[in-house]
């Protein structure tokens, strides 16, 4: 598999190089040169295959020139070390993606990328790289955990001050070693803009080998397709014959984009619902046909607080930039904090299920879509453990949420971050 820039598909690049580079030299995103197609025999066999067998088949075409089958198997065995269960919630299913080391769906993509980059850097002449990443909450913790102690790689994480949850901040700022957190006086979009600017800054790039671990990096983005295949497998094994409808909490749109990629490769899916909070740039696009980035609005579902989602351009590419084709497969809806809290209470009172704010937004989107398009295979994604948003969950539901052991120990560790006001602060830090 080769990769192309979405702004210039004439020049192809290897998987190894796009992982190391992150962004294309022209500042656009990398994209597969073609979309692999699964044989019908593979799709028919999915219910009988192990998660590892599925992952090897799905991921193989994207890495085949740079990773041997045995290398890919070792990486995937390490990464897929926890469960991805479907829980019945009323007439719907919750796809729980928070059973990994940082309690968030980004553990798979971050772990996969960390292991790939670690291998690739060791074969480079200059065996040193800096992973530069912006986070609205969960990405930073997953990246920090995935790259912690990886030889030859420093990690610099930019996060918006006061706009991540206490647990998320602890996961960013307490690990030490090769992980540095820059606390930015601004929004996630400010953090992301600074990261993008650094990638095209010739002063920095002449001295520092930069790569990104946001879902703009293909090694972070593509592995997320596995969630949707695993969910399809479980539905089939539960005797559900309807094609799944997936409702996805969407911020930077990498997760839902990966699901659509799996669908374009052959996974039978009925529909995708991008469920947004007050940051509704894509909702407006679907209504008007005009894409207008917005200033970020702070909400209780902070991992979705993105006013200019990077991966939406990949979604458009998957549908040949045709809005009418997109509308047949994709719906975007948005909900307020007040509506989110009502949904959290409804889910708890009626089904005794504790949803985090992001999962509750997805539940609302699924509920609205299924009301008009009935199915027995409605799936909403729970992308983070409720304890990561403990203040909101406990105050909304009037319950106590226990902290899982793998984050409890962090709460007593001292925070270490570097206050950052502007791009020049970031540039100075990287050049040091």
Active site residues: 106
Q: What is the rounded distance in angstroms from the CA atom of residue 93 to the CA atom of residue 231?
A: 10
Nearest CA to 172 among 396, 410, 10?
410
132: Cβ–Cβ under 8 A, 6 or more apart, which residues? 22, 156, 158, 195, 198, 199, 210, 211, 212, 430
| Helix runs in 91-153, H state only | 107-122, 138-147
Token couple for 227: 């969630």
- Give DSSP secondary structure letters for 144-193: HHHHTT-TTEEEEEEEETT-S-HHHHHHHHS--TTEEEEEESS-HHHHHH
**Residue 422 CB neighbour total at 10 angstroms:** 12
| 282 contacts: CB under 8 Å, gap ≥ 6 | 250, 253, 274, 276, 309, 312, 332
Cβ–Cβ < 8 Å for 119, 152: no
Strand-strand pairing, 418-420 and 378-382:
unpaired
- 138 and 388 Cβ atoms separated by less than 8 Å: yes
CA angle centred on 411, ends 406 and 412, rounded to 5°: 115
Alpha carbons 170 and 159: distance in angstroms, whole number: 12
The full 3-state SS of 352-401, as one line of letters, equals: CCCCCHHHHHHHHHHHHHHHHCCCCCEEEEECECHHHHHHHHHHHHCCCC
Cα distances (Å, whole numbers) of residue 70 to 56, 76, 216, 220: 10, 10, 26, 20
Cα dihedral 391, 396, 400, 402 in deg (nearest 10): -60
CA distance 64 to 431: 35
Q: Which of 93, 112, 115 is nearest to 359 (CA)?
A: 93
Name the CA dihedral angle for 137, 146, 183, 210, rounded to a multiple of 10 degrees.
-120
Give me the residues paired with residue 180 across strands: 156
């Amino acid at each position: 598999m080769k990769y192309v820039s979405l702004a210039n598909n004439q020049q192809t690049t290897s998987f190894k190089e796009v992982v190391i580079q992150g962004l294309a030299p022209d500042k656009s995103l990398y994209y597969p040169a073609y979309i692999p197609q699964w044989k019908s025999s593979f799709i028919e066999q999915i219910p009988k295959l192990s998660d590892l067998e599925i992952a090897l088949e799905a991921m193989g075409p994207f890495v085949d020139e740079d990773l041997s089958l045995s290398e890919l198997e070792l990486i995937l065995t390490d990464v897929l070390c926890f469960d991805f269960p479907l829980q019945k919630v009323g007439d719907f299913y919750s796809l729980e993606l928070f059973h990994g080391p940082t309690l968030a769906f980004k553990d798979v993509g971050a772990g996969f990328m960390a292991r790939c980059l670690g291998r690739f850097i060791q074969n480079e002449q200059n065996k040193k790289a800096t992973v530069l990443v912006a986070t609205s909450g969960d990405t930073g913790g997953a990246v920090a955990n995935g790259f912690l102690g990886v030889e030859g790689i420093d990690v610099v994480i930019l996060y918006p001050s006061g706009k991540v949850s206490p647990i998320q901040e602890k996961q960013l700022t307490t690990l030490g070693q090769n992980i540095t957190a820059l606390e930015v006086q601004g929004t996630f979009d400010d953090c992301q803009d600074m990261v993008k600017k650094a990638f095209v800054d010739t002063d920095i790039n002449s001295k520092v080998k930069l790569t990104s671990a946001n879902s703009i990096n293909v090694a972070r983005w593509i592995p997320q397709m596995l969630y949707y295949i695993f969910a399809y497998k479980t539905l089939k094994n539960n005797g559900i014959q309807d094609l799944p409808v997936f409702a996805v909490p969407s911020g930077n749109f990498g997760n839902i984009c990966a699901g659509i990629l799996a669908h374009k490769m052959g996974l039978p899916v009925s529909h995708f619902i991008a469920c947004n909070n007050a940051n509704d740039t894509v909702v407006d696009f679907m209504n008007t046909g005009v894409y207008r980035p917005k200033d970020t609005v702070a909400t209780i579902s902070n991992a979705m607080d993105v006013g200019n989602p990077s991966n939406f351009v990949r979604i458009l590419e998957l549908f040949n930039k045709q809005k009418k084709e997109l509308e047949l497969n994709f719906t975007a809806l948005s909900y307020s904090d007040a509506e989110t809290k009502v949904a959290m209470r409804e889910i708890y009172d009626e089904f005794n299920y504790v949803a985090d704010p992001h999962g509750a937004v997805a539940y609302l989107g699924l509920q609205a879509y299924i009301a008009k398009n009935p199915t027995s295979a409605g799936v909403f994604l729970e992308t983070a453990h409720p304890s990561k948003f403990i203040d909101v969950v406990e105050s909304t539901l009037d319950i106590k949420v226990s902290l899982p052991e793998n984050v409890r120990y962090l709460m007593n560790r001292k925070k270490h971050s570097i206050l950052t006001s502007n791009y020049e602060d970031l540039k100075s830090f990287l050049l040091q």
